[in-house]
């Protein structure tokens, strides 16, 4: 089961539609490359087949994710509680450094220098889920344990 916002689900649905449409284009590309001759030394053919395989794998992954999705109903979550879709400011209790995190159902893959995306299934995401402003959460991260204070929900 994967929790995500409606926006995350809509984005994945659109990506799935786009990738399904891309099947025809990849099939045509393979056909054109096949007409070029010997398939053993045909780089265009092998590249097109690899692209097709990657596209099909992503379609499979998207269908799997979308079949297990649960839309997070953020309307019933108290304003001071962290839930999927929340953007929070965390203070590292050992260094005092503050960073902004967004709890997302599905990482967008876009780079935003102002915040870091985390999923509810990550160590930090599990620690943040349902926590409230003022609470401290301890999480085991790849580089060791960290303790954060939730200073604000933005």
pLDDT digits (tens, 9 = 90+) for 34-88: 888 777 778 888 999 999 999 999 999 999 988 988 787 666 667 778 888 889 9
Residue extents of the structural domains in the chain? 2-71, 74-153
User: Would you say domain 74-153 falls under CATH 2.60.40.1930?
Assistant: no
The pLDDT, as a whole number, for residue 18 is 97
Q: Which residue has the tokens 């099909």?
A: 56
* Confidence (pTM): 0.66
Structure token digits, residue 56: 């099909």
Q: How many angstroms separate the Cα of 108 from the Cα of each of 10, 25, 102, 111? A: 12, 25, 11, 8
DSSP classification of residue 122:
S
Q: Quote the Cα angle for 62-67-68, to 5°.
A: 105
3-state secondary structure of 102: strand
Give the fold, CATH level 3, of 2-71. Answer: Helix Hairpins (1.10.287)
The pLDDT, as a whole number, for residue 141 is 84
3-state secondary structure of 133: coil
pLDDT digits (tens, 9 = 90+) for 81-131: 888 888 999 999 999 999 999 888 776 667 778 888 888 888 898 899 888
DSSP string computed for 70-100? EE--GGGS-TTB--TT-EEEEEETTT--EEE
């Amino acid at each position: 089961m994967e929790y995500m916002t409606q926006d995350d689900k809509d984005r994945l649905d659109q990506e799935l539609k786009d990738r399904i449409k891309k099947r025809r284009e990849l099939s045509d590309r393979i056909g054109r490359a096949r007409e070029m001759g010997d398939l053993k030394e045909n780089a265009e053919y092998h590249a097109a087949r690899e692209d097709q395989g990657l596209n099909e794998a992503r379609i499979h992954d998207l269908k799997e994710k979308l079949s297990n999705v649960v839309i997070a109903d953020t309307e019933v979550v108290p304003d001071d509680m962290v839930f999927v879709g929340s953007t929070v400011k965390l203070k590292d209790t050992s260094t005092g450094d503050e960073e902004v995190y967004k709890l997302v159902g599905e990482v967008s893959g876009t780079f935003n220098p102002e915040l870091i995306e985390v999923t509810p299934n990550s160590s930090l995401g599990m620690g943040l889920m349902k926590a409230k402003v003022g609470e401290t959460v301890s999480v085991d991260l790849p580089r060791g344990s960290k303790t954060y204070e939730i200073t604000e929900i933005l």
